[in-house]
Amino acid sequence: MSYKPQDFIRIFEDHCPMLGERVFIDPSAVVIGDVNIGDDSSIWPNTTVRGDMHCIRIGARTSIQDNSVLHITHAGPYNPDGYPLTIGDDVTVAHSVTLHGCTIGNRVLIGMGSIVMDGAIIDDDVVVGANSLIPPGKHLPSGWLYVGSPAKPIRQLSEGEYKYFGYSAANYAKLKDRHIAALSL
């Protein structure tokens, strides 16, 4: 038996999720609609990625961990363009995170239980601490650790934290390969 991530996606209306090379989607995850997932990215158990009324774009080597919810904001009378969800490369989204109609740059770590709301923008090279709330329309500039509800900048990132972005992305890329191998037995 061979693991096929396309077995774990769902078409919605005319939109079929598009997967890059070596993508891992856990069999308990749900990936629906207008979703693109980049090479070597992973969608872990019980995660929902729902691109049913706008698009979701996930970059390469990005890990969306267990129980996370990714959704969009539809276009309507209160928001004519809606908000897609865009996530860059080398991003680690920890357990039980909600990302809703926001933009996440490259090399970002979003801590467990955090919520990022409609129209929020997180630049490259940012750490969001666990259980933080990024309110609608908030912009988090690069190079900082943000913590709290609502999140506030606490301090600039250390050299070690900058290095950790690449380490975390590579670690989850290797782990998803082990899961693919186990499911292919």
Angstrom distance (rounded) from CA 56 to CA 36: 6
| CB-CB contact of 49 with 56 (8 Å) | yes
The model's pTM: 0.96
Tens digit of each residue's pLDDT (9 = 90 or more) over 34-59: 999 999 999 999 999 999 999 999 99
Report d(CA 112, CA 38) in Å as an integer: 22
Q: Are 70 and 91 in contact (CB under 8 A)?
A: no
Locate the domains of the chain by residue range: 5-183
The mean per-residue pLDDT over the stretch 31-35 comes to 98
Residue 1 has pLDDT above 70, yes or no: no
Question: What confidence category does residue 99 fall into, taking pLDDT thresholds of 50, 70 and 90?
Answer: very high
Q: What is the mean pLDDT of the chain?
A: 97
Q: Is the pLDDT of residue 2 over 90?
A: no
25 neighbors 8 (Cβ within 8 angstroms): yes
- Would you identify the CATH topology of the domain 5-183? UDP N-Acetylglucosamine Acyltransferase; domain 1 (2.160.10)
Interatomic CA distance for residues 158 and 136, integer angstroms: 27
pLDDT in tens, 59-74: 999 999 999 999 999 9
> Percent of the chain having pLDDT more than 70?
99
